[in-house]
Amino acid sequence: MRPILFIDRDGTINHETEDEQIDHIDKVSYLNDVFFYLRKVQAESNYLLVMVTNQDGLGTDAFPEDTFWPVHKLIMRTLESQGINFDAVHIDEHFPADNHPNRKPGTGMLTEYLKGDYDLKNSYVIGDRTTDVQLARNIGCKAIHIAKEAVTDSELTTDSWKEIYEYLILKPRKASVQRTTKETNIQIEVNLDGSGKTEISTGLGFFDHMLDQLGKHGGIDLKVQVEGDLHIDEHHTIEDTALALGECFLKALGDKKGI
């Protein structure tokens, strides 16, 4: 199952205007670094990109379609020219007073994703309105609120696409492993993005020194606690520690995307 990024348009990709109506190309300007980091998110992950936008009164005299579509197509062409491709675009044209189920935070436009084979638990709605955060709750996924200050219970509040990229892709690479056999009891914790702090206790001085150097020179925080049958020999302690350490590194690396 693939996760989805449900992305708002105005205020999220391009700047919102005071009249909240992008009906001329002169009104189009883009958020800082949106193309660079959104492209990186798509290239370094398996998220599907789905645009979900409210366009109040689209098709009425207040917002004629012939003023909307040229601007919208320009925005989409610009995204595509930067290597950013949306799997689908959903546009609701109702006014807030209509209380239509398709209008965000309603889920009417997104029923195919609620019933389909998608990883909603690990999906996100990204938008600048509190209605975007509420939409995330309504469809059972997480929220990234584009704003200067947190006013919602979103997983992340920021006005920086760089921070959005780092949150989605550069997740903390930490892991722990407990390995217990008849011969050894091993507990390992690793932070691949640490500063080289180590806490090593295997009962073997030279082995402790080797593992300590691995952490310090690799910039890895490493905690290794080992109880082994050293009264018999060192073999099980060293071998089982290596097995547990490899498993811990593998867990910390995750799916390895973006390395």
Catalytic residues: 8, 10
Q: End-to-end CA distance of the chain, in Å?
A: 22
- As a whole number of angstroms, the distance between CA 66 and CA 32 comes to 28
Which of 29, 25, 20 shows the shortest CA–CA distance to 57?
20
Compute the C-alpha angle 218/43/85, nearest 5°. 165
Secondary structure (3-state) at 177: strand
Which of 209, 179, 175, 180 shows the shortest CA–CA distance to 194?
175
Strand partners of residue 7: 51, 126
Which of 30, 25, 142, 20 shows the shortest CA–CA distance to 38?
30
- As a whole number of angstroms, the distance between CA 88 and CA 18 comes to 27
- As a whole number of angstroms, the distance between CA 7 and CA 10 comes to 10
Residues in the chain, how many?
259
